[in-house]
Amino acid sequence: MASIFPALDRPKPDWRGAGLRYFSLGFYLRERFGGRVQKVSLDAGFTCPNVDGTVTTGGCTFCDNRSFSPSRRQPRLKIGGQLDDGIRRLKRRYDVEQFIAYFQPATNTYAPVDRLRPLYESVLGDSRVVGVAIGTRPDCVPDDVLGLLEELAGRTYLSVEYGIQTMHNRSLDWMNRGHHHDATIDALARSRGRGFEICAHLILGLPGETPADMLATAREVVRLGVDAVKIHNLYAVKRTPLADQVERGEVTLISRADYIRTLVDILEILPPEIIVERVSGDAPGDYFIGPSWCLDKPGVLRALDAELTRRDTWQGKRALGG
């Protein structure tokens, strides 16, 4: 299963030699920067084109940005104040001196270049910041914005995180995404070769998707040449259309056992050089509806490790055969 694009030229640490069964983001960042690195969530005040009416209204079926993004659950300070506050909080929890400025909530390329440039530039002068991560959508990266991101990548470590979620148009329609998979193909084709890491967000357990459908999405993002993936299960938070659908019994959320089995199947087909940035998802208890198992993140990681061990498998085991 070969990518149609060349991989980003970056260090490829020996994570298997370190005793790991998948190429975790934590391991990659420690190897690249020589120590622990933490992401600081920043809210630049963006919206999305499926919220403001540009392509549709109401936002994604599952989405309340306050539940996904710590920075959107507090009064919004200027970017510098958010960065200082986030670093203080993280330093109280971890022994860490290096940080990635993470523009997280909503669509962080959804503005003209003359607005985006000063926002991104505002974090680069901070000696504590070793890189930038930018969350966006495949339909919100016009060429001039990609040119700005390429320029930024020439000055710092940059990861651009695309909310791909799935390759299946019926699922994108269900979630009120406002675009189809052709937008992803186009965005990733125009993003490749610009010096930044391309990270794909994937959601497992979307209504009507079988394990084979989820594996097809994983194979597709490999084909499209991503450098990293974030994977988590579909979960419901309050005040969303998904919450109503779960309450009415129209949507059944994926079980932990089914999620872990499918996640391991996907890890097996991911090439070993793809960074696995995330393998689970949750939300604060005051926003959360279900499934309850994903609130136990240590338990999810233990279950993942147990299944990898039981199968005696690892990331790329089936990808290596072609």
Output the 3-class SS for 95-127.
CCCEEEEEECCCCCCCCCHHHHHHHHHHHHCCC
* CATH code of residue 252: 3.20.20.70
pLDDT of res. 9: 60
Asked whether residue 12 is domain-assigned, the answer is no
Range of the domain at 101: 25-311
Q: Which of 282, 283, 302 is nearest to 294 (CA)?
A: 282
- What does the alpha-carbon distance between residue 7 and residue 64 come to, in Å, rounded to a whole number? 33
Q: Which residues pair with 61 in a beta bridge?
A: none
Assigned domain for 265 exists = yes
What is the predicted pLDDT for the residue at 279? 96
pLDDT of residue 1: 46
10 part of a folded domain: no
Give the N- to C-terminal CA distance of the chain in Å, as an integer: 5
| pTM for the model | 0.92
Q: What distance lies between CA 239 and its chain's CA centroid?
A: 22
- Report the interhelical angle of 113-124 vs 79-93 (nearest 10°): 40
CA dist., res. 211 & res. 130, Å (int): 38
Q: Which residues of 152-177 are buried (b: 16+ CB within 10 A; e: fewer)?
A: bbeebbbbbbbbbbbbbeebbebbbb
Q: Residue 84: is it exposed, middle or buried by C-beta count within 10 angstroms (0-12/13-18/19+)?
A: middle
**Residue 4 lies inside a defined structural domain of this protein:** no
Q: How many domains does the chain have?
A: 1
Is 318 within the bounds of a domain?
no
pLDDT tens by residue, 165-220 = 999 999 999 999 999 999 999 999 999 999 999 999 999 999 999 999 999 999 99
Residue 41 lies in a domain: yes
pLDDT at residue 202, as a whole number: 98
Tens digit of each residue's pLDDT (9 = 90 or more) over 67-90: 444 544 456 689 999 999 999 999
- Identify the segments of the chain with pLDDT beneath 50: 1-2, 67-69, 71-73, 322
Domain assignment present for residue 17? The answer is no
Q: Which amino acid is at 240?
A: T
pLDDT of residue 263: 98
Residue type, 9: D
Does 65 reside within a domain? yes
Structure tokens at 20: 């790991």
